[in-house]
C-alpha cells in the first residue's frame, strides 16, 4: 500500500462535500506531475485530504477505490481521475504550520512543492501526520 496527499480549496470542494457524496472521482488535475501521481495510485492506497487556500490543513483520510481512467469532465485523453471514498475525518486537523515545524517531516512534498495538487507521502510521514491529529 502507498500513501498520498490530495489538495482542494474548501470553497471549491470540501471534505464535507466529499463525505456527502460518499464516493467521487478526483478530477480537475491539469499538471503532468500530479497526473502521473494519479496514475500510480492503486486500489487500497490511503490518501490524506488537504484543504488548501485559507485553511492549509490536513482534514481527513480517504481511500482509493478505482484506479485511473480518463477524466470524464474534459474531452482530452491526457487527463485522468481516480475514485476515492472518505474513510475518516481527523480528530484534529493538522495544519501546514505544524507540519513545517516538525523536523521529522522534512522532505515532505507538501513543504518542498507546495503547488502540487496530488503527491506521494512516505509511510513514516503519513503515520506522523495521523499521530498529530489525535
| Dihedral angle computed from the Cα positions of residues 120, 122, 127 and 133, in that order, rounded to the nearest 10 degrees | -40
Question: What's the confidence (pLDDT) of residue 58?
Answer: 98
In tens, the pLDDT along 31-73 reads 999 999 999 999 999 999 999 999 999 999 999 999 999 999 9
Q: What's the whole-model pTM score?
A: 0.96
Going from the N-terminus, what domains does the chain have, and what CATH number goes with each? 3-132 (3.10.590.10)
Question: What's the confidence (pLDDT) of residue 106?
Answer: 92
- Mean pLDDT along residues 12-31: 97
In tens, the pLDDT along 79-126 reads 999 999 999 999 999 999 999 999 999 999 999 888 899 999 999 999
Judge contact between 61 and 19, C-beta under 8 A. no
Question: What's the confidence (pLDDT) of residue 112?
Answer: 87
Amino acid at each position: 500500500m502507498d500513501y498520498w496527499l490530495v489538495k482542494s480549496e474548501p470553497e471549491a470542494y470540501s471534505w464535507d462535500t466529499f463525505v456527502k457524496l460518499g464516493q467521487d472521482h478526483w478530477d480537475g488535475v491539469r499538471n503532468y506531475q500530479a497526473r502521473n501521481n494519479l496514475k500510480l495510485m492503486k486500489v487500497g492506497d490511503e490518501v490524506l485530504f488537504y484543504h488548501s487556500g485559507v485553511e492549509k490543513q490536513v482534514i481527513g483520510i480517504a481511500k482509493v477505490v478505482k484506479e485511473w481512467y480518463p477524466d470524464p469532465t474534459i474531452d482530452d485523453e491526457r487527463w485522468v481521475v481516480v475514485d476515492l471514498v472518505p474513510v475518516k475525518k481527523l480528530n484534529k486537523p493538522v495544519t501546514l504550520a505544524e507540519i513545517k515545524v516538525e523536523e521529522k517531516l522534512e522532505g515532505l512534498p507538501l513543504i518542498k512543492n507546495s503547488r502540487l495538487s496530488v503527491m506521494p507521502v512516505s509511510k513514516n510521514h503519513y503515520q506522523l501526520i495521523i499521530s498529530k491529529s489525535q
